[in-house]
Amino acid sequence: MTAQDTPALFQERERRNNLTTFDTLLERNQDFAAHHFLKDLSMMPNLRIMIIGCVDPRVDPAHVLGLGLGDAIVIRNIGGRVTPATLETIGMLGGIAQRAGGGPPTGFHLIVLQHTHCGIAHLEGQTDMLASYFGIDQEEVAAQAVTNPHAAVAVDVAALKATLTLPESWLVSGLVYDVTTGQIEVVVPPAPQSHAERPA
Ligand SMILES: [Zn+2]
């Protein structure tokens, strides 16, 4: 907003900018449909990968993992966290796979991809909001480690292994992407559910 701008002029310019962006997106789609569209892709991902990642625009799995169209199922939410909604989505995907004919797919890899400098850290202290998000009591929120992606990714891999019933051929892993370097660290190496640590 410049010195001469009235609030109304500022709003008008912002609205025009948004419409220009929208037009650009539609033009890009025309280019995609003409040059990059792949016909007859399957709903079943090419790479047998399901990624749980963050909505942050810096950490799009298609870019940071070099995925192509049809390669992977991607579930994105705040933080790339395992929440009741995440588990519901995974359960519904299983229902779709069964009804689409095939039964549970074999050889799938479930990857939790979290990242450094995640916005969810700003919600530390918003105990009500976080308890609701994770479907837990307020006293349990600290254990979700929202300010520490390395701890959080381990918590979430453990939660997936404890909650889901996965075929033995499935792998689960946990990664942390560094937004300052572009590099990914393997925090929880790929392992089947049976390798989950059992309580003594
Ligand atoms: Zn994030």
Q: What is the pLDDT of residues 136-158, one digit of tens each?
A: 999 999 999 999 999 999 999 99
Q: How far is the CA of 83 from the centre of ligand 1 (A)?
A: 14
**pLDDT(110) > 70:** yes
21's CB contacts (< 8 A; 6+ apart) are none
The string over 27-39, giving b where at least 16 C-beta atoms fall within 10 Å of a residue's C-beta and e elsewhere, is: eeeeeeeeeeeee
Choose between 120 and 196: higher pLDDT.
Answer: 120
Q: What pLDDT score was predicted for residue 196?
A: 54
Cβ atoms 116, 126 nearer than 8 A: no
Cβ atoms 90, 29 nearer than 8 A: no
Q: Which of 131, 172, 125 is nearest to 147 (CA)?
A: 125
Token pair in block for residue 33? 């449909």
Token pair in block for residue 180? 């300052």
Q: How far is the CA of 38 from the centre of ligand 1 (A)?
A: 30
pLDDT confidence bin for 26, thresholds 50/70/90: very high
**pLDDT(125) > 90:** yes
Q: What pLDDT score was predicted for residue 11?
A: 87
Averaged pLDDT of the chain: 92
Give alpha helix (H) positions in 77-174: 84-99, 127-134, 149-163
State pTM to two decimals.
Answer: 0.90
Q: How far is the CA of 152 from the centre of ligand 1 (A)?
A: 12
